[in-house]
């Protein structure tokens, strides 16, 4: 599938992203605290102590910060060098900001894309190191490794911008993982509308799922990695204008 919007815009976003302040790799998962409470580097001098993570609820977020008619677009499993730039194009063309739930290994492999996401005004979400959907059956030490190492990897790849949410792969939250994420300033993040785009059911089916399930709540789940996401890109091109026509506005999940 051809890229929409061309490489010119992506090149400009990437150039802007280079300006994001880089930070040194954390020596442990507990020292990845670069950034202010809004998730961005505070730009403090070398002698200043890094800001502590913001206090957030341990409850799984579904609501939008835009209220009853707000919609949260969330994009999982990337970044991906083929599909993330196309998703970014569609979001830009529609003036929509989204939350990108990134897998740690993907962020580490594609830091340019993480920076491009940040430079475009989107938010970051920790989606674990390796997207293990059985995390809820594993030990606390394993859950810690998956969550905290992903936080470190994403923060480093972004140039110092911390993830503001944690979404468990497949929704495999545990009380422990929710409390751990919240202690790091990452609000546990759920979803209300699962578009099933990862199954590649067809663009029409993805669009139909959104239209039929919007009464479930405001947080929509899409994917920009894990295979061919051409149907997702095409569906977003239809869904975003439709949501605007219905009177929805686009926000971020509550924190």
C-alpha neighbours within 13 Å on the C-beta side of residue 191: 24
- Percent of the chain's residues with pLDDT above 90: 78
223 is catalytic: yes
What does pTM read for this prediction? Answer: 0.82
Catalytic residue among 76, 80, 89, 224: 76
Active site residue 131: no
Taking residues 66-78, report their average pLDDT: 97
pLDDT at 51: 61
Query: What is the percentage of the chain residues whose pLDDT exceeds 70?
Result: 80
Q: What is the pLDDT of residue 31?
A: 35
Mode of pairing for the β-strands spanning 165-166 and 249-251 = unpaired
Q: How confident is the model at residue 55 (pLDDT cuts 50, 70, 90)?
A: confident
Domain ranges of the chain: 70-251
Q: Catalytic: which of 122, 127, 131, 223?
A: 223
Tell which residue, 149, 94, 97, 104, has the closest CA to residue 119: 97
State both tokens at 55: 């206090």
- Topology adopted by domain 70-251: TIM Barrel (3.20.20)
CB 104 within 8 A of CB 130: yes
Residue 170: the pLDDT is: 96
pLDDT surpasses 90 at 45: no
């Amino acid at each position: 599938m051809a890229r929409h919007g061309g490489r010119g815009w992506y090149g400009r976003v990437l150039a802007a992203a280079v300006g994001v302040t880089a930070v040194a790799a954390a020596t442990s998962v507990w020292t990845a605290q670069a950034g202010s409470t809004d998730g961005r580097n505070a730009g403090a001098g070398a002698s200043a102590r890094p800001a502590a993570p913001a206090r957030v609820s341990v409850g799984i977020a579904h609501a939008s910060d835009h209220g009853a008619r707000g919609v949260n677009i969330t994009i999982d499993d990337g970044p991906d060098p083929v599909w993330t730039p196309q998703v970014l194009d569609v979001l830009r063309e529609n003036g929509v900001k989204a939350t990108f739930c990134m897998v740690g290994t993907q962020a580490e492999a594609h830091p340019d894309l993480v920076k491009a996401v940040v430079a475009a005004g989107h938010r970051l979400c920790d989606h674990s190191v390796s997207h293990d959907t059985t995390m809820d059956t594993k030990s606390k030490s394993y859950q810690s490794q998956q969550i905290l190492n992903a936080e470190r990897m994403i923060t480093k790849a972004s140039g110092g911008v911390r993830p503001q949410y944690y979404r468990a792969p497949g929704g495999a939250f545990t009380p422990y993982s929710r409390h751990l994420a919240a202690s790091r300033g990452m609000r546990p993040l759920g979803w209300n509308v699962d578009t099933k785009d990862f199954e590649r059911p067809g663009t029409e089916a993805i669009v139909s799922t959104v239209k039929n399930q919007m009464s479930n709540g405001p947080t929509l789940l899409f994917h920009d990695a894990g295979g061919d996401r051409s149907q997702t890109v095409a569906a977003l091109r239809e869904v975003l204008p439709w949501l605007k026509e219905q009177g929805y506005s686009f926000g971020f999940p509550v924190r």
